Amino acid sequence: MPSSSMPPSPTPSSRSSSSDPSSSPELRAWALRCLLDTDPVAKTGEVARMAAAWAAGACALDAGAALADSPAIPGRPARPELVSPASVGRRSMATAEGRAMLIHALAHIEFNAVNLALDALWRFPGMPEQYYADWLRVANEEATHYRLLAAHLATLGHAYGDFPGHDSLWEMVHKTRGDITARMALVPRTLEARGLDAVPPMRAKLAQAGDLAAAEILDIILRDEVGHVEIGNRWYRWLCEGQGLEPYGTYDELVEKYRAPVLKGPFNLEARRRAGFTEEEMARFAALSGARTKE
C-alpha cells in the first residue's frame, strides 16, 4: 500500500502497550465479528468493549491478514423493513409520531454507520496502524450516537424497527468493497458528509418543536461527524498520493464509475472546512450552493 505522507501515528499516551500482543485478540477479526452481529444492543456494546481493549493495549493489530468475506455482512435485525428512500414516509415535526419517525430514521443512519465503520476497519489489510485506530474511533462514536437516539426514541413510545428504513448508505459500502480509494472517496467524504449539511436544519426544527433532548443529541452527532468526514478526507488524499493520482479528477472519475449521488447544495461550508475539504473544494461547494439557490 502507499507509504508516503503517512498521517501521524497515535501518541504514546493514546494507547497502552502493557499487554502481550501474542495473546491478545486481533482487532480486525474482532471488528468482523461485531459486523456480523445482528442485535443492535449487542453490536454497539461489543464495539465499546473493543475500543476499550484497543486503548488499553489488550488488542493486537492483524493488519496484514486477509479475512474471509461473508454473505451475512452486514449483520442487522429483521426489522426495520428496508424500502426505497421515497417510501420511508414524511416526518412532520407537528406531531409526536412525526418526530419519532425522524428520530428512528436518524437511529437507522447511525446503526448503518456503525456497520460501515466496522467494514472499513476489517476489510482492507495492509494499511498503517493509524487507519485502523481512526475507523475504530468512528465505529465507537457511531455506536454511541445510535444508543443515544434509541434511548430517546423509547421516550417517544417507540423502538428501533418500528418504522421502515432505506439502505442507500450500505449500497455504496457494498459497491466499493474491492476499492479502498473509492470507499474513502464516496462513503465518508460524500455520503456521510451530507450529514454535515442536513443536521443543522433538522436540529433547528426539533428545537422549535420543543424536543431539546433530541436537539442536544444532534449537537453531539454533528461535532463527531466533522471528525469522521475528516478521516475520510485524510485517508483519501493519502491513498491518492501513494498511487500518484490527482485527487480532484480521480474523485470525479470514481463518482461516475460507482454512480455516486451528485452533490447538491446548500452546503454547511463551515463544517466542511473543519472536516478537511480544501479551499478549491469549498469554492466548488459554494458555486453549487449558488446554482441551487437560483434554480
Can you say whether residue 160 is alpha, beta or left, with left for phi > 0 and alpha for psi between -120 and 50 degrees? Answer: beta
Per-residue pLDDT tens over the stretch 170-211:
999 999 999 999 999 999 999 999 999 999 999 999 999 999
Instruction: Please report the pLDDT score of residue 251 as a whole number.
Output: 97
Mean pLDDT over all residues of the chain?
90
- Taking every pair of C-alpha atoms in the chain, what is the biggest distance, in angstroms? 61
Q: What percent of the chain has pLDDT over 70?
A: 89
* Element (DSSP H or E) covering residue 122: helix 96-123
Q: Is 260 in contact with 192 (CB distance < 8 Å)?
A: no
Q: Which amino acid is it at 2?
A: P
What is the model's pLDDT at position 23?
A: 60
- What is this structure's pTM? 0.91
Please identify, in words, the CATH class of the domain defined by 23-62+88-294: mainly alpha
The pLDDT of residue 294 is above 90: no
Residue 14 or 106, more confident:
106
Given this model, what pLDDT does residue 288 score? 84
| Residue 158 in grid coordinates | 417507540
pLDDT tens profile 266-278: 999 999 999 999 9
Using one digit for the tens of pLDDT, what is the confidence trace for 80-90? 999 988 777 67
Q: Which region holds residue 290: left if phi is over 0, alpha if psi is between -120 and 50, else beta?
A: alpha
Please compute the mean of the pLDDT values over residues 13-42 and round it to a whole number: 79
Domain boundaries, the chain: 23-62+88-294
Helix (H) / strand (E) containing 40: helix 40-55
